[in-house]
Amino acid sequence: MEEKRVYTFGNGKAEGRADMRNLLGGKGANLAEMNLIGVPVPPGFTITTEVCNEYFEKGKADVVSLLKDDVEKSVRHIENLMGLRFGDAKNPLLVSVRSGARASMPGMMDTILNLGLNDEVVVGLARKTDNERFAYDSYRRFVQMYGDVVLGMKPVNKDDIDPFEAIIEQVKAKRGIVLDNEMNVDELKKLVALFKAAIKERTGEVFPENPIDQLWGAICAVFDSWMNERAILYRKMEGIPQEWGTAVTVMAMVFGNMGDTSATGVCFSRDAATGENRFNGEYLVNAQGEDVVAGIRTPQQITKEGSLRWARQQGISEEIRAAKFPSMEEAMPDIYKQLDALQDKLEKHYHDMQDMEFTVQEGKLWFLQTRNGKRTGTAMVKIAIDLLHEGEIDEKTAIERCEPNKLDELLHPVFDKEALANAKVLTRGLPASPGAACGQIVFFADDAAKWHDAGHKVVMVRLETSPEDLAGMSAAEGILTARGGMTSHAAVVARGMGKCCVSGAGAIMVDYKTRTVEIDGVVLHEGDYISLNGTTGEVYNDQVTTRPATVSGDFAELMKLCDKYTRMVVRTNADTPHDAEVAKNFGAIGIGLCRTEHMFFENDKIKAMREMILAEDRKGREVALAKLLPLQEKDFYGILKCMDGMPVNIRLLDPPLHEFVPHDLKGQEAMAQEMGKSLDFIQKRVASLAEVNPMLGLRGCRLGITYPEITAMQTKAILGAALRLKKEGLDPRPEIMVPLVGTDKELKSQQAVIKAAAKELFDEKGMSIDFKLGTMIEIPRAALTADRIAKHADYFSFGTNDLTQMTFGYSRDDAARFLPTYLDNKILEVDPFQVLDQTGVGQLVDMGVKKGRSTNPMLKCGICGEHGGEPSSVKFCHRTGLDYVSCSPFRVPIARLAAAQAAVEE
């Protein structure tokens, strides 16, 4: 059988269906489906996406001859249903030619309207409609669109002048008028002639008068638009394969601009912003679709309720509203009733919120399009839960309807939409931690804290941040850095705090001396206002107002549903009781990573820590460690108490020691005094700690092996806190984790130190407590030898930040220098520090789990790298058989949803 290339629809019949979107594109499939369910749609036909591929394989001439019979037959089909003739001056049929891919690619490809007009037909149209102005306006728009789209006259650069627009301006200037719709019939006629002359002059081609020639030109142009730069870029961004191709739909034109019984509009079956079950939309009487978009006239609301609300917001009185901006419900009550019934029908049919386009031509309603509507995160959750309650969808579908990353919008403060529309974007960086922040610029952590205490809202602007900046970051509304990627210190810590952060904004020049930052020629001083959008990476001049996030009951209900279906559980990465509390409220059932180093920067702890690091010998270290022990125990007490009855995985000291010592003179002098040593001594010790490659140097378990007394002190602090809580009748569940292990002997040696310290403590206190001992798998060699390592571990936690760094050989802190180029050139599809590289790094995780469980079947496995909160990585973790993922508090709900989806998909 010959391949079917063209599918017709019209008058309640269609050769296609909704589930044929791969072949007919979203638009074509839904137009067919609407016919089948009794929604009025102008008749037409769709040329398949497969023809698009043939077009690029075989070329234009071959494809036109392949399609010729089918297309001509299908044009007859439209003519018969409409009672009109293509190219007939008395009773002319006009058509639109539209693109439509499988996935929606809004505005990326081309559309041609009013096709079929020529010098003869336009006269007939004017006579038939008794509206010369309408006919010539349609004609000049068509010639212009045809010249732009089919004959390639659309300017390539946005600064180039559109030759047609230039002609329009000349014609208007001659009579001193401003608006397009002020042109009279003679002027519109003149435009047509001038446009045609411009086409001849520019392209050497004569504008085709024959409608069939016009049609072929338009069909081929729509196929060509699949390969335009915009479309190619969009496909790259959205991961849409080129082979999908676009379909072409040719459809009878219906006109919303044929007088006061005609109209055009767009409507939604529910509120796309809030999710409320409220039919809404906008329309314009006597207008074409592009008039709504052009913004020359103010569109009116469809429902009366919407209209009243709109008038209130605009400060428009009821008299004026009713007279000048009545709703469709009031102005066209019969049409409104039909529209309302049909939108309801469409929503029930698709079981989802619909976004629809319609036209009313002389009192007859036509639908031109329907699709599942785009929506905000809040609306997404509400609509899914409401549809579940209404019995439209089942629980699994409700879970699958929600996009995990969109939950983020529900968790962080966001910019006020109106304020944002008026704000000036200064520059862009990485969207390191979502949310909105607005405050006065400060450059130093202590200033951030001071200003904050004095009641100011501040944004901390830094070249980069380090653990020393923690207090400042905590006091700030948001953080902006010039350097650093998505797992840089600033990014990780900010996400942990749920604090807005834009990192790696390469265009900002920070001058700490003058306390200024120059962004694209604008110099901002300490105290000036700046605003950050951590969700998009945009940086704005001045103050942009924010509003706090709200978590609704639907959201909680969705999370409960997730728990019902999920297999993996979700823990959190938290270093303070505050973060732990936030995460617990978001549903974390334990801590998957407590980075102890962050605790050392508070209050007196940093002094004792520095004393320990700068000590000359073991004895000196032990003196300092004795000061640290009770302080650390207090930290662990707080966090274990907050997470009572839940596992708390505490990691032993991990970062290179030089991160803790003072590098400035003031700090070094203070240390010298504190320790009773000379400044020279301190400076030499600091210098001796410098490493060429600290990320691969003395860090992780290498610290604990070099200085076992640190491991012993931390063990006693963790277990000491747990014992106190046990005595108080609580149920602490500590886990002690050894970082950066690469050989089984490293773990074995640390295990011995931990066990000895525990025994010493238990003997001393006369009581004991169970605890688990595990390790991070974050060095490739650990994954390769996981069978050996697992013999000494109760659990593995995959540290995919370091594992990615070491598998790719990309420095976490320097990757922002070249990753953008890699992404632009498609050397990498995504940033591997954000989205787990399943092909490479994923193999190591998979191997680690399998090998580990081969020697230790009871081994629990989790992940605590940043990927633990990224949906596609979470789903990979599920498939790999991990028991849990652990992520920043503000990503806990996202991970819960992704984990449930992974289970449902299985």
Name the site residues for ligand PEP (rule: CB under 6 A): 593, 595, 654, 778, 799-802, 864-865
| 778 belongs to an annotated ligand binding site | yes
Which contiguous run of DSSP H or E holds residue 360? strand 354-361
Instruction: Single out the catalytic residue among 438, 594, 864, 887.
Output: 864
What does 353 bind: ligand PEP, Mg ion, none (CB cut-off 5 to 8 Å by kind)?
none
Partner in contact with 595, chosen from ligand PEP, Mg ion, none, beta carbon below 5 to 8 Å by kind: ligand PEP
Q: Quick one: what does residue 863 bind among Mg ion, ligand PEP, none, with the CB cut-off 5 to 8 Å set by partner type?
A: none
Q: What is the SS3 assignment for 739-806? A: CCCCCHHHHHHHHHHHHHHHHHHHHHHCCCCCCEEEEEECCHHHHHCHHHHHHHCCEEEECHHHHHHH
Residue 147 DSSP symbol = I
CA distance 65 to 348: 41
Residue with tokens 């329309």: 283
**Of 77, 452, 489, 878, catalytic:** 489
User: What tokens does 21 get?
Assistant: 């979107």
Q: Which is nearer to Mg ion, 190 or 699 (CB)?
A: 699
**Helix or strand run (H / E) with residue 460:** strand 458-462
Decide the pairing of beta strands 280-285 and 300-301: antiparallel
Least distance to ligand PEP from the beta carbon of 161, Å? 53
From the list ligand PEP, Mg ion, none, partner contacted by residue 864 (C-beta under 5 to 8 A by kind): ligand PEP
Looking at beta carbons only, is 125 or 847 nearer to ligand PEP?
A: 847
CB of 493 to ligand PEP, least distance (A): 10
Distances 87 to 92, 140, 432 between C-alpha atoms, Å: 6, 17, 58
Binding site partner of 110, from Mg ion, ligand PEP, none, Cβ cut-off 5-8 A by kind: none
Contacts of 518 (CB under 8 A, 6+ apart): 508, 509, 511, 524
Say how far apart CA 202 and CA 196 lie, in whole Å: 10
Nearer to ligand PEP, 732 or 799 (CB): 799
Is residue 799 marked as binding?
yes
| 465 touches 473 (CB < 8 A) | yes
The crossing angle, in degrees rounded to 10, of helices 708-727 and 618-642 is 30
Does residue 535 contact residue 377 with C-beta atoms inside 8 Å?
Answer: no
d(CA 292, CA 290) in angstroms, rounded, equals 5
Q: Which single residue brings its beta carbon nearest to Mg ion? A: 802
Q: Tell whether 840 is in a known binding site.
A: no
At closest approach, how far in Å is the CB of 562 from Mg ion?
A: 28
Q: Which does 43 bind (CB under 5 to 8 A by kind): Mg ion, ligand PEP, none?
A: none
Q: Which stretch binds Mg ion (CB under 5 A): 197-205, 539-547, 794-802, 878-886?
A: 794-802
Separation CA 271–CA 353 (nearest Å): 9
Give the bridge partners for 862, in sequence order.
797, 884
- Report the nearest approach of ligand PEP to the CB of residue 716 (Å): 22
- Give whichever of 183 and 653 is closer to ligand PEP, judged by the CB atom: 653
Q: Which of 43, 2, 52, 44 shows the shortest CA–CA distance to 25? A: 52
Q: For residue 304, give both structure tokens.
A: 């009366």
Give the Cα separation of 424 and 74 in Å (integer).
Answer: 51
- Least CB distance from residue 740 to Mg ion, whole Å? 6
Residue 865: contacted member of Mg ion, ligand PEP, none (CB under 5 to 8 Å, by partner type): ligand PEP
- Residue 701 and residue 773: Cα distance in Å, rounded? 14
> Whole-number minimum distance, CB 799 to ligand PEP, in Å?
3
Judged by CB, which is closer to ligand PEP: 550, or 693? 693
- Of 32-40, 256-264, 527-535, 778-786, which segment contacts Mg ion by CB under 5 A? 778-786
- 245 annotated as a binding-site residue: no
Nearest to 686 by CA among 614, 756, 631: 614
Please, what's the b/e burial string for 718-740 (b: 16 or more CB within 10 A of its CB; e: otherwise)? Answer: bbbbbbbbbeeeeebbbbbbbbb
How far apart, in whole angstroms, are the C-alpha atoms of residue 581 and residue 570? 14
Interacting stretch for Mg ion, rule CB under 5 A, among 49-57, 115-123, 332-340, 796-804?
A: 796-804
CB of 718 to ligand PEP, least distance (A): 17
H helices of 690-743, in order, are 701-706, 708-727
Which residue number, 659 or 802, has a Cβ lying nearer to ligand PEP?
802
CA 494 to chain centre: 18
227 burial (CB, 10 Å; 0-12 / 13-18 / 19+) is: middle
**CB proximity list for 507: less than 8 A, separation 6 or greater:** 427, 519, 520
Minimal distance, residue 483 CB to ligand PEP, in Å: 17
Tally the residues of the chain: 906
CB under 5 to 8 A by kind: which of ligand PEP, Mg ion, none does 800 bind?
Answer: ligand PEP
Residue 834 interacting entry, from ligand PEP, Mg ion, none, C-beta within 5 to 8 Å by type: none
Distances (CA, A) of 305 to 281, 326, 616: 11, 11, 77
Look up 864 and say whether it is catalytic.
Answer: yes
Nearer to Mg ion, 275 or 865 (CB): 865
291 binds Mg ion (CB under 5 A): no
Interaction of residue 866 with Mg ion, rule CB under 5 A: no
**Helix, coil or strand: residue 891:** helix
**Distance between CA 559 and CA 557 in Å, rounded?**
5
- C-alpha angle 85/90/95, rounded to 5°? 40
595 marked as part of a ligand binding site: yes
Residue from 137, 224, 802, 870 binding Mg ion (CB under 5 A)? 802
The one-letter code for the residue type at 658 is: H
Helices and strands in the chain: count of H runs, count of E runs = 36, 34
- The residue range among 184-192, 211-219, 233-241, 800-808 that interacts with Mg ion, by the rule CB under 5 A, is 800-808
CB of 800 to Mg ion, least distance (A): 9
Please say if 489 is a catalytic residue.
yes
Structure tokens at 757: 């310290």
| Per-residue tokens: 499 | 């604090």
From the CB of 802, what's the least distance to Mg ion, in Å? 4
Bridge-based pairing state of the strands 354-361 and 414-415? unpaired
Given the complex with Mg ion, which of 355 and 802 has the nearer CB atom?
802
799: contact with Mg ion by CB under 5 A: yes
Instruction: Give 769 or 782: the residue with its C-beta nearer to Mg ion.
Output: 782
* Total Cβ atoms within 10 A of residue 564: 12
* Residue with smaller CB distance to ligand PEP, 289 or 865: 865
Give 513-549 as a DSSP string.
TTTEEEETTEEEETT-EEEEETTTTEEEES---EE--
Contact criterion met (CB below 8 Å) for 741 and 701: yes
468 binds, among ligand PEP, Mg ion, none (CB under 5 to 8 A by kind): none
* Residue 595 dihedral angles phi and psi, to the nearest 5°: -85, 105
- The least distance separating Mg ion from the CB of residue 680, rounded to whole angstroms, comes to 35
554 or 778, CB closer to Mg ion?
778
- Which entry of Mg ion, ligand PEP, none binds 815, CB below 5 to 8 A by partner kind? none
Q: Which residues belong to the annotated binding site?
A: 595, 651, 778, 799-802
Q: Which residues belong to the annotated binding site for substrate?
A: 595, 651, 778, 799-802
Residues engaged in binding Mg ion (CB under 5 A): 778, 799, 802
Q: Which residues belong to the annotated binding site for Mg(2+)?
A: 778, 802
**Residues with a known catalytic role:** 489, 864
